[in-house]
Structure 1
Amino acid sequence: MSYIKQYYDKVQQLLGQVLEEQEQLLDEVAQLMVKAVKEGNSLYLFGASHAGIVAEDAFYRAGGFALFNPIFSPALMLNVEPVTLTSKVERLEGYGQILLHSKPVKAGDVIFIHSVSGRNPVAVDLAIEARQRGMKVVSLTNLTYSKSVTSRHSSGKRLFEVSDFVIDNFGEPGDAAVSIQSLSQKVAPTSTIIGSFVIHSIVLQIITHLEQSGSDVPIFRSANLDGGDDYNETMMSKYKEQIHYM
């Protein structure tokens, strides 16, 4: 079997597992977010380094939910040089608290934190601080991976241990999934594909519940379609109290 086919089969298996075992959980998270939105609260997304790709994928894009507010830090993004700085900063205890303090968060808000290993202080700090502020914490992690490693946070906690809702990406420890005959290191990570499926599935359930209640659905239109800019500008003005990235 080719390496590509092995990868395809693995991704397909994981997508099926997420759907079969966690569809209800994804719906519960969507309902939590709908409740927050209806009460005038805000939704936040965070991930460090490659985990942050899911946050980038979910906000400010055509067909995307307009009320997702990313928490970005230049030191944790992949365009920083040297890129190894991201690994050092995500292990810096207290930095997550600083990031959260930079946003107008309040009790009733929801934060979605993606961390595959769930062991590094920046994600754990964010979760602990968010809960102390009365926010709800949704984590996307790899439980098998996370339970096989120790925390790098002084509390000894990993992300799944300080979250209100825990979504498992069902990946392998180390994330990469395809064994290569000549290498000891596996290749082809699965967390980004699964993470994007998870967050967009949550969006679909958010839309479902908003529609069922007769509420408006704040979804972006493509800026490259006629009328897209005007539509998006009107929508962002309407929801300006819940959009913090403009």
Structure 2
Amino acid sequence: MLALEWLKNAHGIMEKLEATQLENIKKAATVMADSIEAGRWVHTFGCGHATIPVEEMYPRIGSFVGFHPLCELPLTFFTQIIGQMGIHQFLFLERTEGYGQAIMKNYDFDSKDCLWIFSHTGINAVNIDVALEAKKRGMKVIVYGSAGETGDKASRHSSGKNLFQLADIVVDSCVPLVDASVPLKNHFDKVGPLSTLSFVTMVWMTITTVAEILADRGVQLYIHPSHNVPGDTTAHERLDAAIAEYQKKVKIL
């Protein structure tokens, strides 16, 4: 049963993350905690399916203020697939040098901020643009993706560097570069990708570590509570407080 084969592959990814990436996750989380403690932001960015971890982390029950999504709708997969905002346009934009620079012009960044980028292959121009612009502003750049598989492969950017080569900290998703993991009878291409599962797993491994670091430092976190639990009479007050804190902080951008 192919469902069990995919599940076995998924378990394998999680086991590799636990065995090999905890130290890198702690390094990344420490940089993020420093930004949040300083009253600044962890900016998050990805394209295509790599926007899913960005959307998963904030706003989200069990997450907290400090993560700022840089979501560009044309770069997500919330598209009509064909026609207006189709896949062809998305692929063009993702690979077009200069688009990331235009995105970064919209915000007032600070050197105390850091940038957290998700990219499976790390070779597309828009991610590299964004990373380079962040580094110009003195920000630490943290990249999650298939770093071991990508290695020194050439990018689609005039710098000649891929995203992992530019990063200050890299966390390897441990996912094969082809991503899809299950062979299918009578077909060349495999089914059952693993990168999204790995990204979301790494998100919560990281954010829980950031929370642990900040709590140990005595920093108050504005956590999004569940507001669907009967009997929790203060949930909406805590949610309002988190949103108010986000609104106050986002004005600096």
Normalising by structure 2, what TM-score? 0.91
1:235 to 221, 225, 242: 242
Residues 169-191 of structure 1, C-alpha deviations (whole Å, 9 max, x = no match): 11112211111122111111111
- Is residue 236–residue 243 contact of structure 1 (8 Å, CA) maintained in 2? no
2:194 to 190, 195, 220: 190
Correspondences of 1:6-25 after superposition (within 5 Å): 6-25=5-24
Q: 168-177 or 144-153, which moves further after superposition? A: 144-153
- Which position in structure 2 is the counterpart of 1:75? 74
Residues 41-66 of structure 1, C-alpha deviations (whole Å, 9 max, x = no match): 21111010111111011110111122
- Which position in structure 1 is the counterpart of 2:138? 134
- Which position in structure 2 is the counterpart of 1:167? 171
Residues 120-145 of structure 1, C-alpha deviations (whole Å, 9 max, x = no match): 00001111110110001000111244
Cα distance in 2 for partners of 1:245, 1:106 equals 10
Cα distance in 1 for partners of 2:137, 2:46 equals 19
Count of paired positions: 245
Cα distance change of structure 1 residues 245 and 118 upon mapping to structure 2, 3 Å threshold: farther
- Which position in structure 1 is the counterpart of 2:53? 54
RMSD, aligned CA: 1.9
Cα distance change of structure 1 residues 15 and 243 upon mapping to structure 2, 3 Å threshold: farther
**Unaligned runs of at least 5 residues, structure 1:** none
Correspondences of 1:1-246 after superposition (within 5 Å): 2-80=1-79, 81-147=85-151, 149-225=153-229, 226-243=233-250
Cα distance change of structure 1 residues 57 and 39 upon mapping to structure 2, 3 Å threshold: same
Residues 152-175 of structure 1, C-alpha deviations (whole Å, 9 max, x = no match): 001111000111001111111221
Residues 103-123 of structure 1, C-alpha deviations (whole Å, 9 max, x = no match): 221111011000101000000
Q: 211-220 or 48-57, which moves further after superposition? A: 211-220
Cα distance in 2 for partners of 1:131, 1:172 equals 28
Cα distance in 1 for partners of 2:14, 2:111 equals 33
SS at match of 1:8: helix
**Matched-pair identity in %:** 26
Cα distance change of structure 1 residues 51 and 60 upon mapping to structure 2, 3 Å threshold: same
Cα distance in 2 for partners of 1:116, 1:44 equals 18
- Is residue 143–residue 170 contact of structure 2 (8 Å, CA) maintained in 1? yes
Q: 111-120 or 71-80, which moves further after superposition? A: 71-80
Cα distance in 2 for partners of 1:244, 1:196 equals 28
Cα distance change of structure 1 residues 244 and 28 upon mapping to structure 2, 3 Å threshold: farther
Which amino acid in 2 is paired with 1:169?
A: S
**Unaligned runs of at least 5 residues, structure 2:** 80-84
Normalising by structure 1, what TM-score? 0.93
